[in-house]
Amino acid sequence: MSSLLTISKDLSLIIKKASTITERLNCSSTINANYKDDPQIENRLQQWCQVVAKGNLAKFEKRLAWDGLDIENLRPLMADDIDVDDKESLPTWANTLEQLLDIARNIPREQLFSPQPYLDPENPQPFEPFYIPCIQFAQQILWSKVGKLTDLLNPTAQADLECSLLNRLVTICTSTLLDEFFSFRSSGNDVQDFFSIRIRGHKSQEKYRAFIDKLFKDGLFSLFEEYAALGRLVATAIDFWVEANAEFLNRLATDWSNIEQFTGKHTPLKEVVSIKASLSDPHNRGRSVYALKFDTGLKIVYKPKSLGLDVAFYEFLSWCNQKNTQHQILPFKIFQILNRSDYGWMEYVESLPCEDETGAKHFYQRSGMLLCLLHILETTDCHYENIIAHGEHPVLVDLETLLHH
């Protein structure tokens, strides 16, 4: 039996633990008739009742009734021995995790500690070897989906995209890996551990490498069996990253010639040389804002949402500028936008200092003018993270709350 088939059989353990009540209700799983003898069920119901209704059974039952549920119907769904459906009906994340575990089981150990383009030696992330099979698998799936579109990015830009996935996975996994590492490193005797560290030195990686070897001994299976929800989150993050970046690269290829016109000189673009990813909170299955730099020096921003409001706002500022000219009032800075209905491209707004005291005065005068307009337009969310000081121009970069109700 191949390693993949072995993992497929064992994967049911992880799926059971990571499945939600809604998924259990909707699936066609077979319930073991002996579930009433399972002491875990009452335990879990009591914990759930405590979280939802502070232990008040009547309130808990009322809350369940809102969703058409009752405790007796839920009891069998709280058991461990629910059979998982056949492989064809596995959730997407489970198929992803299965393939990831297969890569982790077969990856050469020396590769786990070798340099990678998306790893920064000057700013190492905790437990970097753990993520290498995750990035490797995500690379394979993304490149298979987009084919030659990868030629639009030079190696540095490709590494930037992969680094964004690494950072997301680090956010998800670090706390769990730290807890596991502390348990692995500890002998149970604090004094012994203290002197062991003193003798070996703080920079010794002996225990760290041994911990990584332990994780990969069975291809990360034991870790994700213990922390099933973590396995689900890791697989989901990979799925979202692949989906979002395949979409991004297809959009980039479609709009390439239009982007070349951003400079007004129709300068041919050869490739993207760097990408700053995750410049916004992730929305809509992990999508976020990217800042791109091309070989010509052109910088633009990709936003995976409609920029219709942005277009309307800058048309309004242009109208204000026309009126202001008659009264010699300071003009607003206008930025180019290419709106594509459900996504768009925008001229990059550089953070720049004011050149002199006059420029600083103009900055604050324009701030008052902008604040007046935003007040008239019933705008919210104008905090410091959404304002860029572009020389003597304050620029609002997130306009989704214009005309707020």
pLDDT tens-digit profile of 240-273?
A: 999 999 999 999 999 999 999 886 777 799 999 9
How many beta carbons lie within 10 A of that of residue 228, not counting itself?
17
Tell me, what's the pLDDT at 85? 52
Residue 48 lies in a domain: no
pLDDT tens-digit profile of 125-171?
A: 999 999 999 999 999 999 999 998 989 999 999 999 999 999 999 99
Q: Is the pLDDT of residue 34 over 80?
A: no
Looking at the fold, whether 122 and 170 belong to one and the same domain comes out as yes
Tell me, what's the pLDDT at 324? 78
Residue 41 lies in a domain: no
Q: Is the pLDDT of residue 2 over 60?
A: no
Residue 78 lies in a domain: no
Residues 175-188 have a mean pLDDT of 87
Looking at the fold, whether 270 and 361 belong to one and the same domain comes out as no
Tell me, what's the pLDDT at 90? 73
Tell me, what's the pLDDT at 8? 59
Q: Is the pLDDT of residue 4 over 60?
A: no
Q: Is the pLDDT of residue 180 over 90?
A: yes
Which of 279, 304, 329 is the C-terminal boundary of a domain? 304
Tell me, what's the pLDDT at 189? 55
Looking at the fold, whether 252 and 218 belong to one and the same domain comes out as yes
Q: Is the pLDDT of residue 376 over 50?
A: yes
- pLDDT cut 90: percent of the chain above it: 65
293 falls in which pLDDT band (50, 70, 90)? very high
Q: Is the pLDDT of residue 73 over 80?
A: yes
Tell me, what's the pLDDT at 269? 93
Residue 54 lies in a domain: no
Residue 354 lies in a domain: yes
Torsion of CA 229, 278, 315, 400, to 10 degrees: 30
For residues 303 and 247, what is the distance between their CA atoms, to the nearest angstrom?
12
Tell me, what's the pLDDT at 75? 84
Residue 223 lies in a domain: yes
Q: What is the 3-state secondary structure (H, E, C) of 292-310?
A: EEECCCCEEEEECCCCHHH
Structure tokens at 353: 């200092």
Residues 377-384 have a mean pLDDT of 88
Q: Which residue has the higher pLDDT, 169 or 29?
A: 169
191 falls in which pLDDT band (50, 70, 90)? low
Residues 227-241 have a mean pLDDT of 97
pLDDT tens-digit profile of 208-218?
A: 999 999 999 99
Which of 304, 323, 346 is the C-terminal boundary of a domain? 304
- Listed range (80-84, 142-146, 390-394) with the worst mean pLDDT: 80-84
The whole-model pTM stands at 0.86
Tell me, what's the pLDDT at 385? 85
Q: Is the pLDDT of residue 230 over 80?
A: yes
Q: Is the pLDDT of residue 172 over 90?
A: yes
User: Strands 344-347 and 337-339: what pairing?
Assistant: antiparallel
35 falls in which pLDDT band (50, 70, 90)? low
Q: Is the pLDDT of residue 370 over 60?
A: yes
Structural domains of the chain, count: 2
Looking at the fold, whether 192 and 228 belong to one and the same domain comes out as yes
Looking at the fold, whether 177 and 113 belong to one and the same domain comes out as yes
Measuring CA to CA, which residue among 328, 348, 345, 341 is closest to residue 390? 348
Which of 304, 323, 343 is the C-terminal boundary of a domain? 304
Looking at the fold, whether 297 and 343 belong to one and the same domain comes out as no
| In contact, 386 and 398? CB cutoff 8 Å | yes
Q: Is the pLDDT of residue 50 over 90?
A: yes
Looking at the fold, whether 314 and 172 belong to one and the same domain comes out as no
Looking at the fold, whether 357 and 324 belong to one and the same domain comes out as yes
Q: Which residue has the higher pLDDT, 236 or 327?
A: 236
Amino acid at 202: H
5 falls in which pLDDT band (50, 70, 90)? very low
Looking at the fold, whether 278 and 315 belong to one and the same domain comes out as no
Looking at the fold, whether 258 and 380 belong to one and the same domain comes out as no
Q: Is the pLDDT of residue 198 over 90?
A: no
Q: Is the pLDDT of residue 327 over 60?
A: yes
Tell me, what's the pLDDT at 41? 86
Burial pattern 276-285, b for ≥16 Cβ within 10 A else e, equals ebbebebeee
Dihedral pair phi/psi, residue 274, rounded to 5° = -160, 155
Q: Which residue segment(s) compose the domain that 295 sits in?
A: 87-304
Looking at the fold, whether 350 and 371 belong to one and the same domain comes out as yes
Q: Is the pLDDT of residue 375 over 90?
A: yes
Residue 368 lies in a domain: yes
Looking at the fold, whether 163 and 224 belong to one and the same domain comes out as yes
Q: Is the pLDDT of residue 405 over 80?
A: yes
Residues 2-8 have a mean pLDDT of 46
Residue 249 lies in a domain: yes
